[in-house]
Amino acid sequence: MRAPPDRVHLTTDVLIVGAGAAGMSAAIAADEQDADVLLVDRSLIGRGGATVMAQMTVAVALGEEVADGWRDHLADTLKAGRGLCDEWLAGILCQRGPEEIRRLDSWHVGWARHADGRIRAAQAPGHDRPRCVYVDFLSTGPAVSRTLRGQVQRQERIKRVGDLCITDIVTADGAAVGAVGFSVTDGRPVSLAAKTVIIATGGLTRLYARNSASANMGGDGYALALRAGAELIDMEFVQFFPIGHLAPRLIGMDPIMWDPFRYKLGGRLLNAQGHDFAADYGVPEDGRYVAPRDLLTRAIQKEVEAGRGSPAGGVFLSFQHVPADRLREAFGPVIDRLTANGIDLTRQDVEVAPIAHYHMGGIRVTPDMRTDVAGLLAAGEAIGGANGANRLSGNAVTEALVFGRAAGQTAAEMARHGGNVWCEAAAEPALALVAAPGPGSVNTAAVVSDLQSLMNRHVGPFRTAAGLNAALAGIRRLRTAIGTVPPGTPGGFDTVRLDWFDARNMLLVAEAVAAAALAREESRGAHQRDDFPETDEHWAVNQAISLRDGKLSLERRPVKARAPA
């Protein structure tokens, strides 16, 4: 069959959707095994997504700062996960982490080092020892991104295309055979035939009004996987970062920047009365930074609810007891950036509040990153299981690197053994949608913004049945508002249509989060139900969610409890 004239058709062995650390690691690994790789991103390659935003640290048992072993890292990961970690995946993350960190080191990523050459590690909350490596100053994510980007660019066989928005995975006879999308630059429909497809699109924090994410973290990959027939797990577990920056307005900086300040310098969390309140919630900090994220989020939220919050609706973070020269020594040029924002930490507190930061849940995969759809793999934050009900600090970049590599290797091997064959008929509905002209009246940017407010209000860290039902009703209302066809006609940088495709994904994923949260009638890790405040051992199970005949369906699954030897 002949393609319509304006459509572009591309062919590859391995198609990777998303060019953050997971996608780029997958590309490098697949290329090493002689596969042809097409790495696509809806933004620019290696610039969108979460990796470039990760200013903080990477957890890895290198054993250079102090003696350490991957099993110790695993023990902390499982403990943070509150009984829900897939121990196979968590084990792989911890065991292979050091190899990936050393690989980046060999590519000159620039890990901070001691004078004697040992790689430095800081102790982040939830870890039993200093285990978190970093690049100064607050440059970990940009350095990792830049380094991987440099490696990807060197490989002739890795083709890279930015500004390409993937809208659907194409499946034929239950197997992934490629994808369909459109070129953001000119609106042209694009079909991509691939022997295997890897989803590496990151998380879903854009679903929330207060978030620490890039604009393109709207959960695309979860929606792509659901519509392709794959299962997701643990969708109710959204990690809120307890001390996201709230006020005064700070520009040119990541809102989660206070975390490394707290590892290095402590810093006191105070309510409106100047009282250091963490101990009142059973997590005494004494000016250090030791409380796990879920407990600190709870303490802050409860303090605000009790009317003891700061003017902007959070609490105060104070470094006023830290001498100016220590601030300067620890954060150098960052102090100048704060000054440019009118903030002098020696004289004033800042306001912080929990913000959506990371998603524990995601696509259900095997230890070699296969989903339950043949030919479809996933990696990085897009997968669920490794972090259970609450992610340990520093594990996100590690999992992106480790799982990205694993997915790339599996995909290359599958491609070598044949893989799946493109089916034009199977691609038709998705191609029709990207080309379809639609009514032009809906403000899709406002729909996205309404959804973000709805999720922040009802599906934040503290949930009730009434709130979750209100969220589900709101999601249905917004879905009706956007209709089933994108507005307008395809064109260059058409933000209305782009928002429509985003809203289509975001509404499906938001529904999955709210439905899973409503079903789990207990409190555990990042999922706290005010109407079911206790942890219930009967709920020490994962919830899997899939899309059947257009409806989401939930099932309980036992936790995978065996760690690799």
Partner 1 sequence: MSETATLLIRRGGPEEPASWARFEIAYERGQSVLDGLRRIRIERDPSLAFRFSCINANACKECMMLLDGKVVYACTARLEPREMRLEPLPNKALIRDLATEIAPPDERLASLLKRDA
- Does 391 participate in catalysis according to the annotation? no
Query: Least distance in Å: CB of 11 to partner 1?
Result: 9
In Å, the largest CA–CA distance within the chain is: 72
Instruction: Indicate which single residue of 160, 195, 298, 357 sits in contact with partner 1 (rule: CB under 8 A).
Output: 160
Active-site pick, 42, 210, 262, 293: 293
Instruction: Indicate which single residue of 4, 5, 117, 252 sits in contact with partner 1 (rule: CB under 8 A).
Output: 252
Question: Contact between 52 and partner 1 (CB under 8 A)?
Answer: yes
Question: Contact between 387 and partner 1 (CB under 8 A)?
Answer: no
Query: Least distance in Å: CB of 489 to partner 1?
Result: 12
Q: How far apart are CA 337 and CA 331, in angstroms?
A: 10
Query: Least distance in Å: CB of 323 to partner 1?
Result: 27
Q: Can you give the C-alpha Rg of the chain in angstroms?
A: 23
Contact 392, 85 (CB under 8 A): no
Question: Contact between 543 and partner 1 (CB under 8 A)?
Answer: no
Q: DSSP label at 489? A: -
Contact 52, 20 (CB under 8 A): yes
Question: Contact between 444 and partner 1 (CB under 8 A)?
Answer: yes
Question: Contact between 44 and partner 1 (CB under 8 A)?
Answer: yes
Question: Contact between 469 and partner 1 (CB under 8 A)?
Answer: no
Question: Contact between 65 and partner 1 (CB under 8 A)?
Answer: no
3-state secondary structure at position 153: helix
Question: Contact between 481 and partner 1 (CB under 8 A)?
Answer: no
Closer of 488 and 525 to partner 1 (Cβ): 488
Letters for 2-21 (x = contact with partner 1 by CB under 8 A, - = none) are: ------x-x-----------
Query: Least distance in Å: CB of 497 to partner 1?
Result: 10
Instruction: Indicate which single residue of 112, 253, 272, 426 sits in contact with partner 1 (rule: CB under 8 A).
Output: 253
Contact 444, 482 (CB under 8 A): yes
Query: Least distance in Å: CB of 45 to partner 1?
Result: 5
Give kind and range of the element (H or E) at residue 555: strand 551-558
Instruction: Indicate which single residue of 249, 538, 548, 562 sits in contact with partner 1 (rule: CB under 8 A).
Output: 249
Closer of 160 and 529 to partner 1 (Cβ): 160
> What is the residue-wise DSSP string for 246-301?
EES---SS-TTTHHHHHHHH--EEE-TTS-B-GGGGT---TTS--S-HHHHHHHHH
Question: Contact between 491 and partner 1 (CB under 8 A)?
Answer: yes
Q: DSSP label at 175? A: E
Instruction: Indicate which single residue of 83, 110, 130, 142 sits in contact with partner 1 (rule: CB under 8 A).
Output: 142
Closer of 51 and 395 to partner 1 (Cβ): 51
Instruction: Indicate which single residue of 81, 91, 126, 162 sits in contact with partner 1 (rule: CB under 8 A).
Output: 162
Q: Is the dihedral of CA 155, 161, 162, 167 positive or negative?
A: negative
Among 3, 4, 25, 6, smallest CA distance to 14 is for 25
Residues 6+ apart with CB under 8 A from 105: 111, 119
* Distance, CA of 123 to chain centre: 22
Q: How far apart are CA 253 and CA 143, in angstroms?
A: 16
User: Which positions from 492 through 511 interact with partner 1, judged by CB under 8 A?
Assistant: 492-496, 499
Q: Site for partner 1 (CB under 8 A): how many residues?
A: 50
Q: How far apart are CA 183 and CA 299, in angstroms?
A: 45
Distance of CA 123 to CAs 115, 256, 261, 414, Å?
A: 19, 17, 12, 40
The torsion angles phi and psi of 182, rounded to 5 degrees, stand at: -145, 155
Q: Among 193-201, 245-253, 263-271, 514-522, which window interacts with partner 1 (CB under 8 A)?
A: 245-253
Query: Least distance in Å: CB of 22 to partner 1?
Result: 16
Residue 369's region, left for phi above 0, alpha for psi from -120 to 50, else beta, is left
Question: Contact between 255 and partner 1 (CB under 8 A)?
Answer: yes
User: Which positions from 163 through 182 interact with partner 1, judged by CB under 8 A?
Assistant: 163-164
**Residue linked to tokens 């390409």:** 164
Q: Among 47-55, 67-75, 106-114, 260-268, which window interacts with partner 1 (CB under 8 A)?
A: 47-55
Query: Least distance in Å: CB of 110 to partner 1?
Result: 16
Instruction: Indicate which single residue of 66, 215, 432, 473 sits in contact with partner 1 (rule: CB under 8 A).
Output: 215
Question: Contact between 192 and partner 1 (CB under 8 A)?
Answer: no
**Residue linked to tokens 């995946």:** 89
Query: Least distance in Å: CB of 472 to partner 1?
Result: 23
3-state secondary structure at position 66: coil
Give kind and range of the element (H or E) at residue 167: strand 164-172
Q: Among 46-54, 295-303, 528-536, 539-547, which window interacts with partner 1 (CB under 8 A)?
A: 46-54
Q: How far apart are CA 80 and CA 391, in angstroms?
A: 6
Query: Least distance in Å: CB of 160 to partner 1?
Result: 5
Instruction: Indicate which single residue of 47, 102, 113, 557 sits in contact with partner 1 (rule: CB under 8 A).
Output: 47
Distance of CA 397 to CAs 19, 84, 137, 171, 360, Å?
A: 13, 20, 17, 30, 13
Q: How far apart are CA 200 and CA 363, in angstroms?
A: 10
Structure tokens at 219: 């959960």
List residues with catalytic annotation: 293
| Footprint on this chain of partner 1 (rule: CB under 8 A) | 8, 10, 43-45, 47-49, 52-53, 55, 141-142, 159-164, 183, 185-186, 188, 190, 213-216, 248-255, 341-342, 443-446, 449, 491-496, 499
